[in-house]
Amino acid sequence: MEQEIRQQLEKYKGMIEQAPIGLVEVDRDGTLIEINLAGEEMLEPIMDMGAFDGDNIFPVLDYMAPEMSDKIKSFPEQNGLVFIHELHRFILPENDEELEKYFDFSCNKLSDDCLIISIEDMTEKLQKEQRMREIELDQAIMQGKFEIASNVLHDIGNAVVGFGSHLTRVKRLLRQDELNTLEKLADFFRDRQSAVAEALGKEKAEALAEMLRGIIQSRKKHLNELDSSISQQIRIISHIQEVLDIQRQYIRGVDIQERQKVVLPNIITDCVSMLSASLEKRGITPAIDIDSQLPSLKGDRTKLMQVMLNILKNAIEANDVESETNEISISIKSPTPNLLQIQITDNGTGFDPSLAEKLFERGFTTKNSGTGLGLYNCRMIVENHGGTIDIHSDGPGKGATVQIDFNL
């Protein structure tokens, strides 16, 4: 029987020794009697600091939680719970750093000369909770931004649709602008040239007929240019709507639709048209060189347009508005049957060659008002299409070249 009791006591002692929380037994004066492994691990760094002498635990406790020893000393009862789950923060110097620690303390008085203090290191748990709160806050802020962006995209979309409707109406009105009246008037004067000559004189009659022919030709040319320009604007609006749609899908977390065959030369032409105002502002007429026979590429047309727009926009902004020698060249080649290669070169500000790879890092930018997301997103899109994108410059003031390779 006694042996069984001893075995049970050894079992309980082993359980206490291996407990995951620190357990410390002290007498009424704070003298350390027993301490388990977890307690030693938690208190040893503090006791090793050299400011604490002997086996008295009270100074160590007061370093971590001021006045804790006073609560223990002043507890009037013979036994009972002195305090429970008191969380205290303290700084633990380690090498050249200061570690922030959070310990949870409880104290139970078993008898007049026996107190058990439990210590639990809550540092990791609280730090994880803090990180989770920060993540949740960031997500809430991001969600708010997404909602604002969604509303802005909705408003822009409405404006674009309204503008497109007006352009369509103008195009329809232009088609109704018949030249028949002027042409009939010209035919009338031609058929009655003799009578008109007698009434106005031959020279005046010929001048009038010539003037009518000039007006008709000028009017036709003007209407054709307007029709072409409006058609181009309608096509650009259609592309803007595609971009808005893809951004809405991104905000909602919707996957991109199935990829289809895209015609890169058309994408380049449309992007140049969309940036025509910026190009004209800097006096740039892009030199475009496209192979007549190009292999087909399957992809997301809107995403690829975003890439080209971003790169062209960077090339434009790299040129000085006041300069008279601004140049941009665009080439699409197929060096091999399984390779499509796009190069966009400008003679603008350029950059230090050592920055080439950094320019594709998220958040890195050399612009005062940049976000550092443009080229990062371009690389993500290109790589998602099985391609590569690189940028090169010989140095500041020597322009830059962006090269995109699509492996087919």
**Predicted structure pTM score:** 0.45
Query: Residue 209's pLDDT is what?
Result: 73
Average model confidence (pLDDT) for the chain?
81
Mean pLDDT, 10 residues at a time, over the chain (408 residues)? 72 79 90 90 80 77 87 91 92 84 93 92 90 79 64 64 68 63 71 72 74 77 76 71 63 59 88 84 90 87 87 90 86 91 92 88 71 79 91 92 92
Nearest to 312 by CA among 341, 352, 270: 270
Question: How many other CB atoms sit within 10 Å of the CB of residue 200?
Answer: 14
CA 68 → CA 84, 126, 198, distances in Å? 12, 22, 124
In tens, the pLDDT along 98-138 reads: 889 999 999 999 998 899 999 999 999 998 888 888 887 77
Contact 68, 92 (CB under 8 A): no
CA distance 73 to 109: 11
State the burial class of residue 364 (Cβ atoms within 10 Å of its Cβ: 0-12, 13-18, 19+): middle
In tens, the pLDDT along 288-304 reads: 999 888 888 888 888 88
Task: Give the count of alpha carbons within 13 A of 356, CB side only.
Answer: 14
Specify the long-range contacts of residues 274-280, CB closer than 8 Å, at least 24 apart: 274/236, 274/239, 274/240, 274/309, 275/309, 275/312, 275/313, 275/316, 278/313, 278/316, 278/317, 279/316, 279/328
**Backbone φ and ψ of 263, nearest 5°:** -105, 105
- The tokens for 29 are 């004066």
Nearest to 317 by CA among 381, 367, 360: 367
Nearest to 24 by CA among 5, 43, 45: 43
Which residues are CB-neighbours of 335 under 8 A, at least 6 positions away?
A: 341
Question: How many other CB atoms sit within 10 Å of the CB of residue 318?
Answer: 19
Query: Residue 400's pLDDT is what?
Result: 93
CA distance 279 to 275: 6
Contact 272, 312 (CB under 8 A): yes
Nearest to 92 by CA among 117, 69, 63: 63
Nearest to 275 by CA among 245, 305, 241: 305
CA distance 253 to 142: 13
The one-character DSSP state at 179 is S
